[in-house]
Structure 1
């Protein structure tokens, strides 16, 4: 008798009237929002403008979804194009099936388009969004839990995953590889954040670290899975992909650190222009306030300020005679002599 295990949901979809609410889709959507939200915080900390990450995500996310689905369909074509299968199912993305390798590759193309439109460097954007992508993957993997897919070998561990009888699967307890990968992705996000703060990674190296760290974990997790997959030289295709991409990411980190050390000082030129305008407006406002304050001080009674044209006391008027004198010092004219 098994005393502990992780239950699977009885269904991966809830119906709100005629509208189906699918757990897989919810996990993907929540992951995207988390990635954009956290990426925006990191972008602002690097000196970028608010909203830039979301604007570029408008390009990156659709490209990523298309690329992820294409990779899955191409590498598992037998599920859709073999005898007895319906090729229309290749478009049913809500039933699961997104390849992270295709999602990242095509998503990068979409991000490149968005970056060019905003006039910012793609490597800087990739560095800002990298931990958010890892967190999005961690959330998205729970979509596999809703669909009861991508589990590992049978096990009797306390955290075994209960799988019910269904198409192409047998009831039993299996390794929850979706959970292993979700936790690994959280660790990757924390690693990238720490390394970025510690070593001030720039020019795409934070993103490359995310890719390398993810591939390292995906390799051993993929090796545990039992779902149908193509094998090359005794290893699953995705294991080979993880190895190749890991080596490319590490090579990029090494070469980039030698050719372009340090971090970009400016990630979004438009943000600097806005800051300069804001500083100029503040300076003008400060000068205006100072001038107004000086004018107000001059108009105050008892301030010691003299109105324009005022003459000091005792000043002689034209002709040399003091104005308003007592007459004691005035000499009589000739007609006044006695």
Structure 2
């Protein structure tokens, strides 16, 4: 029994420093930076304009945060709009609470509008962003660890997560903003860690699959949605936090099933093969290579990768 306790994963003693610096927000920022770095490498390697990535970041970051918060508030409205609740808390994003479904949905819509205005194909960018996006989600899950939230049911497995009792300066219970007293409330399944590991695995799988299967035309993004929702279905069923239920099931379980089914259908219906560099961004290709852009310009070799391309 003593060895099991030693093997448990400890929660951080606090998730807020200096009264304002929140680990949750830092994890989100770190995830965004990593996603931008990886997306830029992948999109440029496929023939895209690097400036397009920065333009997309300006659009997708605020849209993603807004969409994520709207989804969370909509599906957990009882936490913000009840007789004893303060609706202003719905605006406090750093306290935790971003729904990935809403973030991706509004982010995709915003990017679709941007690419329509720029008259650039969106599918190559979506494929470039997919691995970085799910890697960012994994990094963001560390924020749940600092906040001691979204964990699973109690367990005795050696890798159980110890949830500490936290209090504020006045000695009142404050699970997110307080400091640990050292008292363990419960030992639970670290579902944040399960999803983090799954997300990293999916990121590596997407990079491999695009090369091995020569995926393009949005199929990498569809595969991302299918893989993420497949893993999320099992992790969601392990969680013990309060959640909105529909037909007796957690709403995120239902959303996972629906999105997985849709993503699989889309994956098999989308066009096979990869875009040539000229098809990724015709105008940029014409500027950098000279002459009119066409579907036959600089075709991707049999390896499925443009010359000098990286993952």
**Is TM > 0.5 for Structure 1 vs Structure 2?**
yes
Unaligned runs of 5+ in 2: 167-172, 176-183, 292-311
Shift of 1:168: 8.9
4+ residue stretches of structure 1 with deviation over 3 A? Answer: 166-170
Residue 187, structure 1, aligned to residue 201, structure 2: yes
For residues 58 and 3 of structure 1, the distance between their equivalents in structure 2, rounded to whole angstroms, comes to: 45
1:232, CA displacement in angstroms?
A: 2.1
Q: Per-residue CA shift, 1:5-50, capped at 9, x if unaligned?
A: 11111211111xxx72110000000101111110010001101122
Indicate the residue corresponding to 1:11 in structure 2: 14
**Equivalent of 2:286, from 256, 264, 273?**
273
Match of 2:274 in 1: 263
Aligned equivalent of 1:81: 81
- Matched ranges for 1:98-177 at <5 A: 98-166=98-166, 171-177=185-191
Q: How many angstroms apart in 1 are the aligned matches of 2:9 and 2:284?
A: 48
Alpha-carbon distance in 1 for matches of 2:7, 2:272: 51
Q: How does 1:1-338 map to 2 (within 5 A)?
A: 1=2, 2-15=5-18, 20-166=20-166, 171-256=185-270, 260-265=271-276, 266-277=279-290
Instruction: Report the TM-score when normalising by structure 1.
Output: 0.77
In 2: Cα distance, 1:250 partner to 1:200 partner: 17
Calculate the TM-score normalised by the size of structure 2.
0.84
User: For 1:164, what is the secondary structure of its paired residue?
Assistant: strand
8 Å CA contact 1:12–1:22 kept in 2: the answer is yes
Deviation larger for 181-190 or 50-59: 50-59
Aligned residue pair count: 272
Q: What RMSD over aligned residues (CA atoms) do the two structures have, in Å?
A: 1.6
**1:84 partner SS:** coil
How far apart are 1:261 and its partner, in Å? Answer: 2.3
1:279-336: CA deviation from partner (whole Å, max 9, x where unpaired) = xxxxxxxxxxxxxxxxxxxxxxxxxxxxxxxxxxxxxxxxxxxxxxxxxxxxxxxxxx
Contact 1:61 1:110 in 2 (8 A): no
| Greater relative contact order (Cα < 8 A, sep 6+) | 2
Rg larger for: 1
